[in-house]
Amino acid sequence: MLEVSALNTFYGGAHILRDVGFALAGNEVVALLGRNGAGKSTTMKSIMGLVRPRSGSVRFEGEEIAGAPAFRICREGIGYVPEDRRVFAALTVEENLEVGRRPPRENTATWSEDALYTLFPNLGERRRQAAGRLSGGEQQMLTIARTLMGNPRLILLDEPSEGIAPRIVEEMAGVILEMKRQGVTVLLSEQNLYFAKLVSDRAVIIEKGEVRFAGPFAALAEQPEIAQQYLVV
């Protein structure tokens, strides 16, 4: 579904991503792992068109999208949940969901408000509450739900477990697995190895803008020195 090849991204003169490459199959959850500053968020922004790569390829369902504007990439069926959530604080939960609404897509799960309130019961209980009054974990849920209202085939989740309570982290794992059951492919940026293992089929480890490992978690478990070198703070 997604193929990233030889991606190079710069911020000014700083070379952030160096020939980054990996792929996702349809209906798969892949974890992009690495320490703070490793290049995980830049990789996601480069895929989503929020940062323009200087070179390389990003192909979504066979179509080249590298360097395309973010609105076009969204229309192609990719959703993005940023690390900093960015809810519309003055709008209610219902109104935030309405902002994300897009028409149904062929051969793609269609998400309604009722389906999302079933997936996120806390949001259903607070549907008329201003988003700015939600907890951090609830705001994270709302951002994911708002993105699902766009009926994406692929969703990019940037650090979904960061800064939320352990109970909400467990709920978030259930949400990602349900998204997979509904046919949504997920690229997950994470530092939390335990959380990533709960939901992901494979791992891609990035360090200093370069891919250092790509494979199933079973292979990573057999090489503990890799996690020690690139993930332990």
- pLDDT recorded at residue 214: 95
18: amino acid identity, one letter: R
pTM as predicted? 0.92
Residue ranges in the chain assigned as alpha helix (H): 40-48, 70-76, 93-99, 113-119, 121-125, 136-148, 166-181, 193-199, 217-221, 224-230
Residues 6+ apart with CB under 8 A from 138: 122, 123, 126
pLDDT tens per residue across span 182-222: 999 999 999 888 889 999 999 999 999 999 999 999 898 89
Q: How high does pLDDT run on average in the chain?
A: 93
- pLDDT recorded at residue 27: 92
In the DSSP assignment, the letter for residue 54 is: S
**Rounded CA Rg of the chain:** 17
Q: Exposed, middle or buried by CB within 10 Å (0-12, 13-18, 19+), for 114?
A: exposed
- pLDDT recorded at residue 137: 87
Question: What is the second-level CATH architecture of the domain 2-230?
Answer: 3-Layer(aba) Sandwich (3.40)
In the DSSP assignment, the letter for residue 130 is: B
How many residues would you count in the chain?
233
Token duo for residue 133: 């009054």
Q: Are 206 and 39 in contact (CB under 8 A)?
A: yes
pLDDT tens per residue across span 32-76: 999 999 999 999 999 999 999 999 999 999 999 999 999 999 999
At 233, the pLDDT band (50, 70, 90 cuts) reads low
Residues 6+ apart with CB under 8 A from 156: 44, 47, 48, 78, 79, 80, 81, 187, 189
- pLDDT recorded at residue 202: 95
pLDDT > 90? residue 162? no
Report the pLDDT averaged over residues 124-147: 93
Q: How many CB atoms lie within 10 A of CB 62?
A: 7
C-alpha dihedral over 177, 198, 170, 31, to 10 degrees?
Answer: -80
Report the pLDDT averaged over residues 112-126: 93
Cα–Cα distance for residue pair 133/127, rounded to 1 Å: 12
- pLDDT recorded at residue 88: 94
- pLDDT recorded at residue 165: 77
